Amino acid sequence: MSDPRPTTCDLTLRVRYAESDPMGYLHHSKYFEYFEMGRTELLRQAGFRYRDLEERGILFVVVKLECRFRSPARYDDELTLTTRIARMTRARIDHEYQVRRAGQLLCEAASTLACVDRTGKLIGIPDEMLAHAQDAR
């Protein structure tokens, strides 16, 4: 039986022409947009919508982001982005990412998000999200 609230998700993406540089490679800045898409989809699959959290005054800000590029993606490549929650504490979430093309690892990354209120003050992650993370272990 699968966990209805996953801590990992795969997202299939196709490199669009507008995302490519003049050499036909996926521009490095677009990977960071892909990572955001992965985090948002993982949150949605876990039963939460970022929009709803924002309406409650709960925001997640990126405080650390690192990326290692291993091989370039090209225009029209079909990519698989895997996003995984590596760690969750009372006020932060660490994600890990892998971008692959036909199984070949193109990029690895990691991010740390902090939970803050609308003034930027550090706050606790909602209990229902923490409970989910503990249940998934």
pLDDT 10s digits, 28-68: 999 999 999 999 999 999 999 999 999 999 999 999 999 99
| 1 pLDDT more than 70 | no
| 103 pLDDT more than 90 | yes
Taking residues 5-25, what's their average pLDDT?
A: 94
CATH code, residues 8-136: 3.10.129.10
Q: How far is residue 86's CA from residue 12's CA, in Å, rounded to a whole number?
A: 21
Domain residue extents for the chain: 8-136
What is the token pair recorded at 66?
Answer: 């690192």
What is the token pair recorded at 105?
Answer: 């690892």
Taking residues 77-90, what's their average pLDDT?
A: 97
Residue 134: pLDDT band (50, 70, 90) is low
Taking residues 68-96, what's their average pLDDT?
A: 97
| 5 pLDDT more than 90 | no
Taking residues 1-18, what's their average pLDDT?
A: 83
pTM, to two decimals: 0.90
Taking residues 100-124, what's their average pLDDT?
A: 97
